[in-house]
């Protein structure tokens, strides 16, 4: 029997109203352990800054914790926003993670700031660094620091990510544009399209990626990952009800009214409920059979080699139940 297409998980460590950062991180820990047990391939954590609803501000720290409390699942960033950091710092962090957990670490890289302009300036400390114009060169430097034989000169000529590396993390380029797709193709890297953001350009981007792909020491054939907002529940009505807090969170992000994720009770009487429910969305919400059917359709349309599921909810139990239902209906092999 052919193994099902791999499924993975993207976690934002969402902070709900009445919850602390510690609560959010404890919930993410439970999600990682459940995904490990249920047979998901990897769990990624995002980098967001100065956002009331997201506790995942420092992916390497959170990755170290999640890798230590899981056994099989790959753990990584979805992603590290490279313009916020010096390439050598990122390389050192992830080389150590790889040394601690060989063969289980992913370095997903993005070029967006993951925050507003003022916070990006505070992170980078220099107004001249706010541009992402140097992103391709920084990415190449990062590849060189991890031992890519194609890279000549640059940082790798003088520095090592770690003194005696036995292996390197898998580098994946994340994006929601043709630029990132083509760069991933030219460099021969796996490409993850951020379809969960709601953008309409997934087919064009993955097509550009495959058209421009060149084999590399890391990858002989293109490898396409597509993310999706997914929430499954025991019934379609229950899934739509449980999805409402996440809809309000996304509306807040789009309208720059940042706040913790509301509870279900708060969401049901929220003044923006109608606006959130009518907002255009490509989220996949329903019972397990419906969700799996739509995921298979997304995989077929995009030619994805892997799907990454993301869910923003107030409580962790909804996320855990969704992962369990999808894993069972998809046919993942539980540990």
pLDDT per residue as tens digits for the range 241-277: 999 999 999 898 888 888 999 999 999 999 999 999 9
Quick one: pLDDT at residue 133?
78
pLDDT per residue as tens digits for the range 161-211: 999 999 999 999 999 889 999 999 999 999 999 988 766 689 999 999 999
Note the Cα 216 to chain centre separation in Å: 23
Outline where DSSP puts E strands in 120-249: 170-175, 191-193, 224-233
Given a cut of 80, whether residue 130 has pLDDT beyond it is no
Q: In this structure, what DSSP letter does residue 115 have?
A: S
Distance, in Å, from the CA atom of 122 to the CA atom of 183, rounded to the nearest integer, reads 28
Quick one: pLDDT at residue 302?
96
Given a cut of 80, whether residue 228 has pLDDT beyond it is yes
Q: What angle do CA 299, 302, 308 make, to 5 degrees?
A: 55
Confidence of residue 124 (pLDDT cuts 50, 70, 90): low
Q: What is the CATH number of domain 7-330?
A: 3.20.20.30
Quick one: pLDDT at residue 47?
92
* Poorest-pLDDT segment among 126-140, 171-185, 212-226, 244-258: 126-140
Closest by Cα among 33, 44, 34, 39 to 7: 39
- Over range 122-141, report the average pLDDT: 75
The secondary structure of the chain in percent helix, strand, coil, rounded to multiples of 5, reads 45, 15, 40
């Amino acid at each position: 029997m052919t193994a099902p297409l791999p499924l993975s998980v993207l976690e934002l460590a969402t902070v709900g109203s009445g919850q602390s950062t510690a609560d959010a991180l404890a919930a993410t820990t439970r999600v990682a352990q459940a995904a490990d047990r249920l047979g998901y391939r990897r769990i990624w954590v995002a980098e967001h800054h100065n956002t009331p609803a997201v506790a995942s501000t420092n992916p390497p720290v959170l990755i170290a914790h999640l890798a230590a409390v899981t056994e099989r699942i790959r753990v990584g960033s979805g992603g590290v926003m490279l313009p916020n950091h010096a390439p050598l710092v990122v390389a050192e962090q992830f080389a150590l993670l790889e040394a601690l957990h060989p063969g289980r670490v992913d370095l997903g890289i993005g070029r967006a700031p993951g925050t507003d302009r003022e916070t990006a300036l505070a992170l980078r400390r220099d107004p001249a660094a706010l541009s992402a114009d140097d992103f391709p060169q920084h990415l190449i430097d990062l590849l060189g620091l991890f031992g890519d034989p194609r890279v000549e000169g640059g940082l790798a000529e003088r520095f090592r990510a770690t003194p005696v590396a036995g292996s390197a993390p898998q580098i994946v380029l994340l994006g929601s544009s043709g630029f990132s797709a083509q760069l991933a193709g030219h460099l021969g890297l796996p490409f993850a399209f951020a379809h969960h953001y709601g953008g309409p350009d997934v087919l064009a981007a993955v097509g550009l990626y495959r058209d421009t792909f060149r084999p590399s020491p890391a990858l002989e054939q293109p490898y396409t990952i597509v993310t999706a907002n997914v929430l499954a529940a025991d019934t379609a009505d229950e899934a739509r009800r449980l999805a409402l807090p996440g809809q309000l969170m996304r509306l807040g992000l789009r309208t720059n009214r940042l706040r913790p994720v509301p509870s279900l009770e708060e969401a049901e009487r929220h003044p923006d409920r109608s606006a959130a429910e009518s907002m255009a969305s490509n989220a996949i919400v329903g019972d397990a059979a419906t969700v799996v059917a739509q995921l298979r359709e997304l995989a077929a349309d995009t030619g994805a080699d892997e799907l990454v599921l993301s869910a923003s909810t107030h409580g962790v139990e909804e996320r855990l139940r969704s992962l369990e239902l999808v894993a069972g209906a998809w046919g993942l092999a539980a540990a």
